[in-house]
Amino acid sequence: MSSPPPSVPAASVLSVLDLAPVVPVVVVNEVEDAVPLAAALVAGGLPAIEVTLRTPCALDAIRAIADGVPDAVVGAGTVITPAQVPECVAAGARFLVSPGWTDVLLDAMKASGVPFLPGVSTTSEVVALLERGVREMKFFPAQAAGGTAYLRSLAGPLPQARFCPTGGIGPTYAPDYLALPNVGCVGGTWMLPEDAIAAKDWGRVESLAREAAALRPRG
C-alpha cells in the first residue's frame, strides 16, 4: 500500500463533512478485518470511516481501528439509542452517525463531546435540528428520499444546513451530490465490494478508495 495521508489530530475534527468527499460506510463481520480494511481506506485517501453498529463485533472493530490505525478518523454509524453513544465514544469513535433522531438521542449525541450527524429525510426534521443548533446532518435514505433534486430545493430556504447524503449512492451519482452547495461529503459502500472483503483483497479496496477520494464536482 502507498503511504497514508497525514493523520488528523482528534482536536481538529470539527466537521466530518470536510475530511474527504466520501465517508465509507463499513460493516465489519470479522474483527481481524478491521485494521487492514481501515488501513486500505486511509491509504486510498479516505480517513473518515463509519463503522456501523450492525454486527456483534462493531464496537471491537472501532476499538481495533482506533488503536491500530492512527491516521483513521473512525466513527460509529447506525447509532439509534442513547445507551450506544457512550459505548461508542469509549471504544474510540471520533464521530457519531444516526439514520434518524429523537430528542433523547440528540441530547445524548450533543453531550458526547464528539461531532455527530443525525439523520433526516424531511424538511421539518431539518428545521427542527436547526432550531436545536445542529447544522450538519445525514440525509438518508438519499436516493429514495428525493436525491439531488430534494437537496437542491432545500439549499434556497435553508442554506445554513449541510448534509452527508447516504443511501443508494455510488460513483455515478456521487459527483452530482458533491456539486451541491449544501453537501459536504457523501456516504457509500461501493469501495467495499463483498467479494474483495471476503478475499481480503485490501489492494483492491485501496484502489477503489483512491478513486472515490478523487471525486470532485462536475463542471
pLDDT, residue 216, reads 67
pLDDT, residue 218, reads 45
Cβ-contact 16, 211 below 8 angstroms: no
pLDDT, residue 217, reads 52
Distance CA 109, CA 90 (A): 13
Residue at 111: amino acid letter: A
pLDDT, residue 14, reads 72
Give the DSSP letter string of 133-198.
Answer: T--EEEETTTTTTTHHHHHHHHHTT-TT-EEEEBSS--TTTHHHHHTSTTB--EEE-TTS-HHHHH
Walk along the chain (219 residues) in steps of 10 and give the mean pLDDT of each run: 44 77 98 98 97 98 98 98 98 98 98 97 98 98 98 98 98 96 98 97 98 76
66 burial (CB, 10 Å; 0-12 / 13-18 / 19+) is buried
Q: What is the dihedral of CA 162, 168, 174, 178, to 10 degrees?
A: -10
Cβ-contact 173, 5 below 8 angstroms: no
Closest listed residue to residue 72, CA positions, set 96, 55, 94, 56: 94
Catalytic machinery residues: 50, 138
